[in-house]
Amino acid sequence: MTIARRKFDSVIVGAGGGGMRAALQLSEAGLKVAVLSKVFPTRSHTVAAQGGIAAALGNVTEDNWHWHMYDTVKGSDYLGDQDAIEFMCRQAGEVVYELEHYGMPFDRLENGKIYQRPFGGQSQNFGGAQATRSCAVADRTGHAMLHTLYQRNVRANTQFFVEWMALDLIRDEHGDVLGVSALDIETGEVMLLQARATLFATGGGARIFSASTNAFINTGDGLAMAARAGVPLQDMEFWQFHPTGVYGAGILISEAVRGEGGYLLNKDGERFMERYAPHAKDLASRDVVSRAMTTEIKEGRGCGRDADHLLLKLDHLGGDVIKARLPGIREIAIKFAHADPVREPIPVVPTAHYMMGGIPTNFHGQVVAPYKTGPEEVVQGFYAVGECACVSVHGANRLGTNSLLDILVFGRAAGNQIIEDLKRNSHHKHLPGDAADKALGRLARLDSQKDGENVSQVGDMLRKTMQAHCGVFRFADLLKQGVDKISEVAQRARNTEIRDKSRVFNTARVEALELDNLVEVAVATMVSAQARTESRGAHARNDFPHRDDDKWLKHTLYFSEDRRLDYKPVRLKPLTVESFPPKARTY
């Protein structure tokens, strides 16, 4: 069977903020760039980001990048790599001003400067008063960013492959990455997209959980492709549960609500966060707030008939503030919670939101893995940015609005690194003869499978298993059972069947392929979580309630082939300033 091939200087998988920021850098440098996306670019999940972009501009309160760095290191529960964190925080102002000059319509203060709002875990003077650091476009910051970057990419002649799904990485006998095999969802055609540089910006995979803020497209495709190609996944035990998802729907209610002055209540009308974080209260870091909420519900102080949720109150802010600063939140609350926040509180519960782990990279966006010479050897031709990558600037817990900053800083950094690398690598390498075999084999199995498992049912079992066994709080017996159960799910997923064998826009085939990817992510998460016998950031174990820096101040590496775990040290040395040594983390 002859497979069509196309050559590019760079292939980028994913058209969210990270992918489009990198693509812009490359296209404006005159390179031939292809961007693959399962959806139209402005439908990528960055569009759902609400709160803002963290940058120490000091427009509202005094601020500087060093304080931002401290907050990020502390927020990471000291698992973040401090060289990468310094790199990100120092560049924050520059990438925000770049976006402003691209035409992003930031909200403005009365003096004309970019509007900034407070967010959880952000402080002045190394843990002092609350900082006002998040640059926002009402509660639609990601939406504005994505449209701004898309327009600039159209201007720069970036080539978009819309409604295409990447299937597998192509590697040669030396381990170099040469591109991807991909499926045109519209026609069912498989094509090899050959590139001198392949960048993954495929986003997260929180659809492994039943309750999630993530879009249905967030199925961990980039992580699974990397894992199948022999690249380890880093820190997969760390998943952030956002404190405020709409009860019963999981849809995100931005931390911007609390940044603007909203607060949480239990059934007694008590502002319970004062007991858990007396200084930061409702603006403590997300892992702290989510655990506090879960504790309130478990101890019988939840709201409603089943006492299974809490309330987010913002009516005291006044209708004018809500309509000006939080219009999207009001719309979501009315539509999905049947509550108008101008008059009544919003019912909320913690819900899976963001993965701190991912494909290991350095702060230039190059994928790194332990091969011959050390724990961070560069995988030639392979780059990753955004939520699918683990730089690691977020460590064990991400601070709010650092995610949009992450994709801007490292999207640009990866673009710059690719430009430099391609100057030394001026020719395409030869594709191996079996470049398409893995992808074609997976498709052939789906087409020939009879009397197999139902994709939807296996997917439901996967999500229920992850939610029950690997949630906000984790227990030794549940994790052990979870490893066995997720292994059963993985076995069932190898035998899935699709009834529709057609080629044109076959969504059943796409969902089956996405399930394969979700399984890779879920197994990596459960195995990594069972092994880490401490509580750190978003990983909270009932049987090991304390952080153990002596034993566990290290990154997890999960290898898919034999479910092997390895570890590598956290980089505690920043680029130019003194290190922040681990200490007790309180808010």
Catalytic residue numbers, as ranges: 286
| Cα distance between residue 304 and residue 492, in whole Å | 37
The DSSP-derived string for 448-473 is H--S-EEHHHHHHHHHHHHHHHSSSE
Query: Torsions phi, psi of 377, nearest 5?
Result: -80, 135
Whether the CB-CB separation of 452 and 496 falls below 8 Å is answered with yes
Q: What are the start-end ranges of the H helices in 366-454? A: 402-424, 437-448
Whether the CB-CB separation of 168 and 180 falls below 8 Å is answered with yes
Helices 82-102 & 65-75, crossing angle to 10 degrees?
120
The 8-class DSSP code of residue 429 comes to: P
Q: CB neighbours of 508 closer than 8 A, spacing ≥ 6?
A: 455, 498, 499, 500
The 8-class DSSP code of residue 268 comes to: T
| Cα distance between residue 402 and residue 420, in whole Å | 27
Handedness of CA 127, 130, 136, 142 (dihedral sign): positive
| Cα distance between residue 568 and residue 553, in whole Å | 9
Handedness of CA 486, 487, 491, 494 (dihedral sign): positive
| Cα distance between residue 96 and residue 53, in whole Å | 8
H or E element, residue 122 = strand 116-123
Number of H helices and E strands in the chain, helices first, is 16, 24
Whether the link from the prior residue into 254 is cis, omega within 30° of 0, is: no
HEC-encoded secondary structure of 471-537 = CCEECHHHHHHHHHHHHHHHHHHCCEECCCCCCCCCHHHHHHHHHHHHHHHHHHHHHHHHHCCCCEC
The 8-class DSSP code of residue 398 comes to: P
Q: What are the start-end ranges of the H helices in 15-81? A: 17-28, 65-75
Residue 247 identity (one-letter amino acid) = Y
Residue 45 identity (one-letter amino acid) = H
**CA-to-CA separations, 178 to 170, 199, 436, 517, in angstroms, rounded:** 5, 11, 12, 21
- Tokens 């009001």, residue located: 330
Residue 306: count of CB within 10 angstroms of its CB: 8
Residue 116 pairs with which residues in a beta bridge?
135
| Cα distance between residue 499 and residue 454, in whole Å | 9
Helices 221-228 & 507-531, crossing angle to 10 degrees?
70
